[in-house]
A and B are shown apart, each in its own frame.
Chain A
Amino acid sequence: AQSVAQPEDQVNVAEGNPLTVKCTYSVSGNPYLFWYVQYPNRGLQFLLKYITGDNLVKGSYGFEAEFNKSQTSFHLKKPSALVSDSALYFCAVRDPYSSASKIIFGSGTRLSIRP
């Protein structure tokens, strides 16, 4: 069975510092991996995805994520955090051989950027 884990409920970073939000997954075969962000009172927004190709994926708002097959991880990163990055972040995984609806979300990590 496929699953995704976000080990940190909350991540606190000072503005201007690099940030990392961790995600590990478990899926048979080659996974499709995603990051979504949820701002207060807003729906989830797609940030980036990894399907195949370069292990470093660049997405919206300056975020990037690195696919590491050996560690089964897909950590979200940003070189320099902004206060406006404060939000709830969800990692998600899908088995490419399963149906479209079978995207599995992690429990979310609340990112808090202090000025």
Chain B
Amino acid sequence: GAVVSQHPSRVICKSGTSVKIECRSLDFQATTMFWYRQFPKKSLMLMATSNEGSKATYEQGVEKDKFLINHASLTLSTLTVTSAHPEDSSFYICSAKRFRDSNEKLFFGSGTQLSVL
């Protein structure tokens, strides 16, 4: 089956630094990738939709300058949390849609736990 690799699984950083999270589709081409954020005991909240070769579409309330998304190839999307602050601490998950799959057939990464000190 299709595999999505998300790296790192856990990162601890100092306030003010930037953190990059990678999401790779290992055995398929992902025309679209999605980035979510999950707070404890809260649902997954869609942050942005990333299409290969074009600018990401951000959900309302998500700062695009804060959460930089790059989808430079059909197998890689990155989320960079810039100038991270403690309130950015959260669990971030990516998912990928394979070309020609139905919209519901998403493959998820294992998530990244970000802790900002």
Q: Of all chain A residues, which has the CB nearest B44?
A: A105
Assembled-state Cα–Cα distance A104/B97 (Å): 16
Assembled-state Cα–Cα distance A104/B46 (Å): 8
8 Å CB contacts to A: which residues of B65-113? Answer: 93, 95, 97, 103-111
Residues on B with beta carbons closer than 8 Å to the beta carbon of A44:
93, 95, 106, 108
Does B109 contact A46, Cβ atoms closer than 8 Å? no
A101-B34, A102-B46 known; A43 vs B109 contact (CB < 8 Å): yes
Residues on A with beta carbons closer than 8 Å to the beta carbon of B57:
101
Residue B43 is within 8 A (CB to CB) of chain A in the complex? yes
Q: Of all chain B residues, which has the CB nearest A90?
A: B44
Q: Of all chain A residues, which has the CB nearest B42?
A: A107
Which one of A9, A32, A105 lies within 8 Å of B43 (CB-CB)? A105
Q: Closest Cβ of chain A: how far from B79's Cβ, in Å?
A: 15
Q: How many residues of B contact A (CB 8 A)?
A: 25
Which of B32, B46, B106 has most chain A Cβ within 10 Å? B106
Size class of the A contact interface (CB-based, 8 Å) = 20 to 34
**Which 5 A/B pairs are nearest by Cβ-Cβ distance?**
A100-B103, A43-B108, A44-B108, A105-B44, A101-B49
Beyond known contacts A34-B104, A103-B104: 19 more, CB 8 A cutoff = A4-B43, A32-B104, A41-B9, A41-B110, A43-B4, A43-B6, A43-B93, A43-B109, A44-B106, A46-B104, A46-B105, A90-B44, A101-B32, A101-B34, A101-B57, A104-B43, A105-B43, A107-B41, A107-B43
Can you list 28 A-B contacts with CB-CB less than 8 angstroms, sorted by A residue number? A4-B43, A9-B41, A32-B104, A34-B104, A38-B108, A41-B110, A43-B4, A43-B6, A43-B108, A43-B109, A44-B108, A45-B108, A46-B105, A49-B104, A90-B43, A90-B44, A94-B104, A100-B32, A101-B32, A101-B49, A101-B57, A104-B43, A105-B36, A106-B43, A107-B41, A107-B42, A107-B43, A108-B41
